[in-house]
Structure 1
Amino acid sequence: MLILSACKEKKEEKTTVKAEAKTQKSVEVDTVDLIKAQPAGIEVPKGMVWIPGGTFKQGAIPQDKEAMHHEKPAHQVAVDGFFMDTTHVTNAKFSKFVKETGYLTVAERKPDWEELKKQLPEGTPKPHDSIMQPGSLVFKKTKSSVPNLYDFSQWWTWSIGTNWKNPEGPGSSIKGKDDHPVVHISYEDALAYCKWAGRRLPTEAEWEYAARAGKSDNTYFWGNDVSELSKYANTWEGEFPVNNTKVDGFEGSAPVGTFPSNDFGLYDMSGNIWEWTSDWYNTNYYKELLSKGIVLNPKGAKQPFNSTNPYAKEKVIRGGSYLCSASYCASYRISARMASTMDSSMGHLGFRTVLSVDMLSK
């Protein structure tokens, strides 16, 4: 058991910022108390890197013409330092977790209708038994152009027997892909892994702070030049969802760490796969934060709300994936964010973990 005293940088002049207390009221917090430097005597856990604490503006920058409404308004946030996985959790790491615990992912379990209908509008009929089988969503390219890119059902197919071990459907496998990110992971699955590993999921603020790595005026982690996309991220280049030109070298996921890291030493913070965060998705959350001044270590909205899907209980996912294209979502941008229901698992959704100083001191 480790007993720590947080390392804090000293300043000659103290400044104060407003932060959200547990009561959701604004209180004064001294920025000199931010945990910035890595705690003395504590080694960086294997596969992680120290993210020094600091302040930043979360959300879309003014010159980002691709930014969606829920990435605005940008607002000031202060974040304590923490350790973060340098890469997504891989098939090899998740395999070790499953081997030691016997854990079954949500995609491997037969759906519980009684639990499922609690999340659906009242009166929703029970699906046919042929649908109520273990499985997950698999991406399928279309044969021709798609006029409405908001109709996701055109390229996502429910596939019985699809899961993290069979990511492309029954008969597929992860053999030879130990270093690829694990996918078809629900929020519950990610939490189970975190509990086993003694970690947690990052908050949305921690995720974006880490992705920016001090680049406050960047649209992308490498700068503002989108023409360098294929050099820095695994995304969809070509007509989505018809033809991927594979300029970056990949059609599906790439081995973690294939592309250059950001300035904090984090890989695949843009593209490859989406990543779970711990925050509820709420359409109005950024607007609410703007009125609070600088917020210390925000942990997301009190409750979920999606104006386009009001019955859903969704979490924020970050980072984009190998399916993100300029014509579709351009979610390889740092501020890009999307929502996913907690029981969702897809062929481009996984996670990475973090470890904060307070967890080490317990």
Structure 2
Amino acid sequence: MSGCCSGSRREPEQGISGVPANTVSAGIRGEAIAVKGGETFVGTHDPVISADGEGPERRISLQDFHLEVETVTIRRFAQFVETTGHVTESERFGSSAVFASLLGDSSLATGGVIGTPWWTRVDGATWRQPEGRDSSIDDRLDHPVTHVSWNDALAFARWVGGRLPTEAEWEHAARGGNRRRRYPWGEEEPTDETIFCNIWQGRFPDTNTLQDGYFGTAPARSFAPNEAGFYNLAGNVWEWTADPFKVRSLSKQAKARNEHAKRFSDKVLKGGSFLCHKSYCYRYRIAARMGLSPDSASSNTGFRIAYDAVAGKDDGP
């Protein structure tokens, strides 16, 4: 997968083999919903982007679990950092991937991505300063935290006594159970005028009409939740899952993609982001997916937390 939908490091780890995780559960769990498991499925028999491994549909059995209603916000992540002293990988690397149009000062761009000029590397871009120096999080503490890698997300999950959801759990929650639907809200297609979530409206990447009210991220509880009660499972920010990325196909293209994914230890992300549009990155569908290396981070990548169900309890963790 190229960096078309989210920034990717796509380079050796430069001596950073992972982020030390605080394994002591000390954080406060977020509001979560109990999800009934059982026989269900993951993927689709009607893939739109076959190269991503959206199909075939696969039957699977899930245990009951809980999933937080929203992505982890900047406010919660700040509490985690204040308590544990965690340093994110973007901070360690000294830069992160930023959607170039978010920059108020184009001189901050320090390196582009071949084939995707809308992505640029920005020195100093982190969860604290999402667009680099002079940017602030003061007015968006209720927005999803961004510029966090899979390793950072895993460290936070351990801190609250949770974990990252599997791809199957994420899809099961987004569909509201064992039923087929293209989007968390049903089958109706979002358009530049019909708004269900925070995605791009207009002509990407030149014109965003802002019909949904947001150019970048929206608050984690924006728009109507799906029937199960989960917010923003389509659009806003990509969400890390626990699973390694793999394309289930015998084609030469799939084999090459899998070799690449194995080399970089790519992980699955779900849900699409505020940059998605049907004409460009039609990945805000439930079955859509993307793979990135676990040290990658960008201005449109976040996460939410899952928990194992506790025997005898079904009212949330």
Q: What TM-score do you get using the length of structure 1 for normalisation?
A: 0.69
Match of 1:83 in 2: 66
Compared with structure 1, are the counterparts of its residues 307 and 243 closer, same or farther at alpha carbon in structure 2 (3 Å cutoff)?
A: farther
1:224 aligns with 2:187: yes
SS of residue in 1 equivalent to 2:230: coil
Whole-angstrom CA distance in 2 between matches of 1:158 and 1:311:
22
**CA shift at 1:355, angstroms?**
0.6
Whole-angstrom CA distance in 2 between matches of 1:200 and 1:231:
31
Whole-angstrom CA distance in 2 between matches of 1:239 and 1:286:
35
Match of 1:179 in 2: 142
In 2, are the aligned partners of 1:70 and 1:286 still within 8 Å (CA)? Answer: no
Q: Number of residue pairs matched? A: 271
In 1, are the aligned partners of 2:243 and 2:267 still within 8 Å (CA)? Answer: yes
For structure 1, list consecutive stretches of 5 or more residues without a partner in the other structure: 1-44, 111-133, 143-149, 288-303
In 2, are the aligned partners of 1:136 and 1:159 still within 8 Å (CA)? Answer: yes
Deviations 1:251-309 (A, max 9, x none): 1000011111111111010000000001011122899xxxxxxxxxxxxxxxx963566
Compared with structure 1, are the counterparts of its residues 247 and 68 closer, same or farther at alpha carbon in structure 2 (3 Å cutoff)?
A: farther
Whole-angstrom CA distance in 2 between matches of 1:360 and 1:286:
44
**CA shift at 1:318, angstroms?**
0.5
Whole-angstrom CA distance in 2 between matches of 1:286 and 1:79:
27
Whole-angstrom CA distance in 1 between matches of 2:74 and 2:312:
26
**CA shift at 1:188, angstroms?**
1.0
Match of 2:294 in 1: 342
For structure 2, list consecutive stretches of 5 or more residues without a partner in the other structure: 1-28, 103-112
Deviations 1:168-214 (A, max 9, x none): 11110101211000000001111111111111000111111111113
1:192 aligns with 2:155: yes
Deviations 1:43-63 (A, max 9, x none): xx651111111222311253x
Match of 1:158 in 2: 121
**CA shift at 1:314, angstroms?**
0.4
In 1, are the aligned partners of 2:272 and 2:284 still within 8 Å (CA)? Answer: yes
> What is the letter of the counterpart of residue 292 of structure 2?
S
**Where do 1:1-362 residues align within 5 Å?**
46-62=30-46, 65=48, 68=51, 70-110=53-93, 134-141=94-101, 152-214=115-177, 216-227=179-190, 230-284=194-248, 306=258, 311-357=263-309
In 2, are the aligned partners of 1:61 and 1:218 still within 8 Å (CA)? Answer: no
In 1, are the aligned partners of 2:269 and 2:292 still within 8 Å (CA)? Answer: yes
* Range with bigger deviation, 271-280 or 308-317: 308-317
Higher RCO, 1 vs 2 (CA within 8 Å, ≥6 residues apart):
2
Compared with structure 1, are the counterparts of its residues 105 and 265 closer, same or farther at alpha carbon in structure 2 (3 Å cutoff)?
A: same
Larger radius of gyration: 1
**CA shift at 1:343, angstroms?**
0.6
> What is the letter of the counterpart of residue 162 of structure 1?
A
Deviations 1:95-131 (A, max 9, x none): 1001111111111114xxxxxxxxxxxxxxxxxxxxx
Identity, % of aligned pairs?
A: 38
Q: What TM-score do you get using the length of structure 2 for normalisation?
A: 0.78
In 1, are the aligned partners of 2:261 and 2:291 still within 8 Å (CA)? Answer: no
Compared with structure 1, are the counterparts of its residues 286 and 187 closer, same or farther at alpha carbon in structure 2 (3 Å cutoff)?
A: farther
In 2, are the aligned partners of 1:137 and 1:347 still within 8 Å (CA)? Answer: yes
Whole-angstrom CA distance in 2 between matches of 1:96 and 1:286:
46
Compared with structure 1, are the counterparts of its residues 286 and 176 closer, same or farther at alpha carbon in structure 2 (3 Å cutoff)?
A: farther
